[in-house]
Amino acid sequence: MTRRVLFLSKGEDSASTRYRALQYFPLLRESGFETAHAAIAGGIGDYLDAFRRAAAADIVVVLRKTFPLPLLWLLRHLSRKLVFDFDDAIFCNTDGSASVTRMRRFTAMAEACDHILAGNSFLARNAAHFNAAVTVIPTCVEAGHYSAAAEKPNDTIDLVWIGSRSTRKYLIDALPALRLAATRLPRLRLKIVADFDLPDAGLQTLAVPWNAETEARELASAHIGIAPLSIDDWSRGKCALKILQYMASGLPVVSSDVGANAKVVMEGKTGFLVMTDTAWCERIVELASDASLRSRFGDEGRRRVRADYSIEPVFSRLRSVFDALS
């Protein structure tokens, strides 16, 4: 019997929607599920259409969104099985400070659901305060997508950062450390694969507009992936997507020692975990100066992603949850 799964999110362009819903659709269909997605990003018409479709689904998965209580009550009433999936610390502000409003809506959403899918263990622990039915489903990548071959430049050592304007603050905070590294490595260049540039960064930059068709090649043509974060609850809720992209692309990683980043990076095997500007500088210089070390870390990173964070092993966890709910 075909089981119908409906995913609700703010839109298909959202990274959460792409990585925590749409990429699973082929595997879900092979497993006997009928899949659909509905966006709730506009007015009342979006909600009416989404709720109408929810009433016809066997499982409704809400991605990251919380609702005012009347709408949450209606969605709960219409849904046979309601699942909440989240990959950010949406119960607090984006600077990590507490938010009474966000926590209230998160609490109501968590309590109303039949199951919660959390992107990492920090998120799972917070959700478990309100609902015992929590499963960690780490964000994963299609490893084959990042197997692109690309020539690396010889005249520069490229640090690459992939992201968006919404997370540029982390890259800006890391600039003093990167400038320090650039004083020791005049060939150092910061490659920004995103929707912005930092022309006043204080070191060479190369801005490359993000594109789904070219991201793998742009990553593979760099030398080192970087993933700075701050120390707060919002950062602890991050699910290490860019690190997985770097590692799947065969890049060594230098990352802040925070949250899921600290779990995914294998210190001294796939990359380095750092917290101070001096440590950032030292580790970047070490990797920039040793091509064989970069290659060894990159190879081990690829193996780790394929074993633990590629779509097939993670999908098996997701399917187990859906099978139990059906």
Residue extents of the structural domains in the chain: 3-140+310-325, 144-309
pLDDT tens, position by position, 70-123: 999 999 999 999 999 999 999 999 999 999 999 999 999 999 999 999 999 999
Confidence (pLDDT) at 41: 82
Task: Kindly report the pTM of this predicted structure.
Answer: 0.95
Do the beta carbons of residue 36 and residue 53 sit within 8 Å? yes
The second-level CATH assignment, the architecture, of 144-309 is: 3-Layer(aba) Sandwich (3.40)
How many CA atoms, within 13 angstroms, populate the side-chain half-sphere of residue 74? 12
What is the C-alpha to C-alpha distance for residues 245 and 240, in angstroms, rounded to an integer?
A: 9
Structural element, H or E, at residue 29: helix 25-30
- List the structure tokens of 137: 């489903």
Q: Which residues, including other chains, have CB under 8 Å from residue 74's CB and lie 6 or more apart?
A: 51
What is the C-alpha to C-alpha distance for residues 199 and 91, in angstroms, rounded to an integer?
A: 34
What is the C-alpha to C-alpha distance for residues 283 and 126, in angstroms, rounded to an integer?
A: 33
Which amino acid does the sequence have at 90?
I
Q: Which residue has the tokens 């993933």?
A: 227
Confidence (pLDDT) at 148: 86
Kindly report the number of other CB atoms within 10 A of residue 104's CB atom.
13
Q: Which residues, including other chains, have CB under 8 Å from residue 299's CB and lie 6 or more apart?
A: 250
Distances (CA, A) of 122 to 211, 276, 300, 311: 30, 23, 25, 21
Confidence (pLDDT) at 42: 76
Question: CATH topology of 3-140+310-325 equal to that of 144-309?
Answer: yes
Superfamily of 3-140+310-325 according to CATH:
Glycogen Phosphorylase B; (3.40.50.2000)
Confidence (pLDDT) at 141: 97
- List the structure tokens of 246: 């770097």
DSSP string, 23-51: GGHHHHHHTTEEEEEEE--SSHHHHHHHH
Confidence (pLDDT) at 183: 97
Residues of the chain with pLDDT under 70: none
